[in-house]
Chain A
Amino acid sequence: MTGITTAHSVVEPGARSRRIAAAVVVVYAVLTMLPLVWIFMTSLKTPPDSISYPPKIVFQPTLEGYCNLFTTRSRQTAEYIRSLPPPSGFCEQIARDRNMVVVSASNYAPRFVNSLIIAFGSTFCAVTLGTLAAYGFSRFKVPLADDLLFFILSTRMMPPIAVAIPIYLMYRELGLSDTKLGMILLYTAVNVSLAVWLLKGFIDEIPREYEEAAMIDGYTRLQSFRKVVLPQAATGIAATAIFCLIFAWNEYAFAVLLTSGDAQTAPPFIPIIIGEGGQDWPAVAAGTTLFLIPILVFTVLLRKHLLRGITFGAVRK
C-alpha cells in the first residue's frame, strides 16, 4: 500500500468524492453478481419453474436440480410406481412425484472426481518442476537465461486448439487419448510456464545471504535449498499452486477435444446435461454452482497475490 497519507495531506480524497465512488463501485459489484445469483436461484428451482414465462423471482426452493444432477431417471406409469416399495431416499421421492424412478447415478460425480484428480495431479507436477526451474534461473548464471524464460512463456501464448491438433495425433499414437495421465501431462506443461515465472519472482525476493550463511555453516547447495529457500518461499509456492489449480480446474478446450469418457472433466460435461425435452437447466445450474464454489474460496484466499498471478509476475504490489 503506497497510500500512507497524513491527516492534513492535500491528496486525500474528500468525503463527498469518496461517497460517490463507493456508491458507483457498490452498484457495479451488485450488477456483476446478478448473473451468479440468477444461476444459484435457478439451481433451486423445479424444471417447470426454471423455464416459466415471465421468470419467477419468488419461488418454492427445491433440491430437485441437485437430485437430477446426480441421478438418471426413467419415466414410468403411475400403476407401476404405486406397486413399488416406499421410496428409499430423498431424491427417489422427488422423482416419484414426477412419475419417474431413479435408474442410476449420473456421470457428474465421476467427472467431478476426474477434475479433482487431474487438477491436483498437474498442479503438483507443475509446482515441483516450476520451483526447481525457478530456483535455477534465480540463483545461477544460466546461459541464454532470458531466451529460455521467453521460450517458457511463449508456450503459453499458443492458441490451445492449435496445440491440440498435434497433441491429438501424438496421444492417439501413444495411447494417451482420454487418459488421466495424458491430461495431467498436458496441464503440467501448460502450467509450468506460469509456475516458473511466478516462482522466479518469489524466489528473487528471498535474500541470497540466507543461503550463503547456511552454506558457510556447512550446508550443501541442495540442503540449503531444502532447508532455507523452500520454507521462505512457502507462501509463494502456495499462491502459485492455487493459480495452477484454478487453470486446470477451469480448462475446457483440451478437455473437450482430447477426452470423451474415462478422463473427461466437469467443464465439458456440465453443458451436455439434458433432461426431458431439452436442457435440464436446474441440473445444469446445480452442476455449475457446485463447480464454481471451490473457485470462490480460492479467490478469497488468493486476493493478495491475484495481481502477480494474472500478469505472470510482471506487476507486484
Chain B
Amino acid sequence: MNGTLPPKSLAERAALATPPTVAMRVRGLSDRAVAWIFIAPTIVLLLAINIFPLIWTIQLSFTNYRANRPNAPVRNVGIDNYHSILTDPDIWAAMQATAHFVFWTIVLQTVIGFTLAWLIDRKFRGHGFWTTIILIPMMLSPAVVGNFWRFLYQPQIGGFNYFVSFFTGLPPSSFEMIGSVKLAPWAIVVVDTWMWTPYVMLICLAGLRSIPDYIYEAAEVDRASPLRQFWSITLPMALPFIMLAVLFRGIENFKMFDMVNLLTSGGPGSTTEVASITLKREAFEKWRTGFSSAFAIILFVTVFGLANIYVKALNRVKQR
C-alpha cells in the first residue's frame, strides 16, 4: 500500500510517477477517469434497482399504504407498523418456523456434508465423478425442486413414502409428509438437506485439502492416534471453512422462499410458514404494503447483521 500520503515535493512526485503512467496520461484517459467510468455503471444500476427501492420501502414502512388501493389517502402512522409486527403472534410463529428450519438444515447439512467431504478426501478411484454427481442437486432451481418433491411426498403415488416403507416396514400410506402438522416442518428440512448438503461438502472439501500433509506426517512421527489427529488437526484447521459454509447457508435459508412456497406454501395451517412466506402473504395477498415493508426492513436488518459477521469470517479465512 504505497502512495497513501500525498507527495511533498515536486521531485518526489516526479520520482513516484512511472513512465507508463505519464505516457498514458498524454494519450488516453487518466487512471482515475478510467476507474470511475468502469465502476460507475454498476453502482448506478445497484442504486436504481436496490438502494432506491430500499429507501422507498423504509418510507412506506411508516405509512398505511396499500398497493391494491393506489388512490386511497395515505396516512403516516409513525412506528405503528413496527410495533404491531413485534407484538404479532403470527409473526413470531413465522420466526419460530424459520428458526426451526434454519437450525436443523444447518445441523444436518454440516454433519452429512463434512462426513462426505472427509470420505471423498480419501481420493479413491473415481472420486471426481462421484463428487460431480453429488453436486447436481444444488445447481437445480429451488422452485422446480420444491414442486417435484411435492409429487414425491404424495402418500400413495409418490416415491418417498415407498422408499421409507422399504427400509422401515411402515405402510406407505400411513403417514403424510406435507399433510401432517407434525411432519411438514421436517419435510422442508429433508428437501433442503437433500439439495444443499453438497454445498457444505464442497466447501469442507476445500478446507480439508488446504491442510498440508507435513502436519499429519509430524503427528505420525509423534505417534498421535488417528482420533487425536482428527480432533487436533483436521477439525480445527477445517473449522473456518465449515463456519463459512454455515454462515452462507444460514443467510440463504433465512431468506428461504421458493422451495417452501411450492412444496407446502406454508401449510398445513401455518406450520411451515417461514418469514419470506409470511412476507409474501402480507404484501401480495393481504396487500398490507406498509406493514409488510416494515417487516421487510426488520428482516433486512437481521440479514445485514449476519452479512457483516460473514464478511469478517471471510477475511479470516482468506488470511490463512
Contact = CB atoms under 8 A, between A and B. Distances in A.
Interface of A: 1-3, 5, 9-11, 13, 17-19, 21-22, 24-26, 28-29, 32-36, 38-39, 42, 50-55, 129-130, 132-133, 135-137, 139-142, 148, 150-155, 157-170, 172, 185-186, 188-189, 192-193, 196, 212, 215-216, 218, 220-223, 246, 249-253, 256-257, 267-268, 270-271, 279, 281, 284-285, 288, 291-292, 295-296, 298-300, 303, 306-307, 310-311, 314-315, 317
Contact of A303 (B135, B137, B306, B314): B135
Contacts of B37: 132
Contacts of B120: 21, 25
Contacts, number: 319
B39 A314 contact: no
> Could you tell me the dominant secondary structure of chain A's interface residues?
helix
Question: A-B pairs with the 5 shortest C-beta distances?
Answer: A220-B28, A252-B143, A162-B296, A166-B53, A250-B141
Interface stretch (B84-92, B103-111, B156-164): B156-164
B209 A21 contact: no
B204 to A, nearest CB: 10
B286 interface: no
A67 B169 CA distance: 38
Interface in B206-253: 206, 209-213, 216-217, 220, 241, 244, 248, 251
B172 interface: yes
Interface of B: 3, 19-20, 23-24, 27-29, 31-32, 34-39, 41-43, 45-46, 48-54, 56-57, 60, 67, 116, 119-120, 122-128, 130-144, 147-149, 151-152, 156-159, 162-163, 172, 194, 198-199, 202-203, 206, 209-213, 216-217, 220, 241, 244, 248, 251, 254-255, 257-258, 261-262, 275-276, 279-280, 283-284, 289, 292-293, 296-297, 299-300, 303-304, 306-307, 311, 314, 317-318
A310 B133 contact: no
Nearest to B48: A189
B196 to A, nearest CB: 10
Contacts of B128: 303
B49 A133 contact: no
Contact of A35 (B132, B148, B244, B251): B148
B317 A314 contact: yes
A165 B284 CA distance: 8
A48 to B, nearest CB: 11
Given A21-B124, A129-B45, A165-B292, 14 more contacts: A11-B220, A21-B122, A32-B133, A32-B198, A55-B158, A158-B303, A159-B299, A166-B53, A185-B45, A196-B42, A284-B147, A285-B151, A306-B135, A311-B203
A177 to B, nearest CB: 12
Nearest to A5: B213
B132 A140 contact: no
Contacts of B304: 154, 157
> Could you tell me the dominant secondary structure of chain B's interface residues?
helix
Given A150-B311, A162-B299, A291-B141, A22 B216 contact: no
20 contacts: A1-B209, A9-B217, A21-B119, A22-B124, A25-B134, A35-B149, A55-B162, A133-B42, A153-B307, A159-B255, A159-B275, A160-B257, A161-B257, A165-B283, A166-B53, A166-B54, A172-B67, A188-B49, A221-B34, A310-B202
A222 B34 contact: yes
B243 to A, nearest CB: 11
A268 B141 contact: no
A46 to B, nearest CB: 13
Nearest to A295: B139
Contact of B283 (A52, A152, A161, A196): A161
B136 A3 contact: no
A21 B211 CA distance: 19
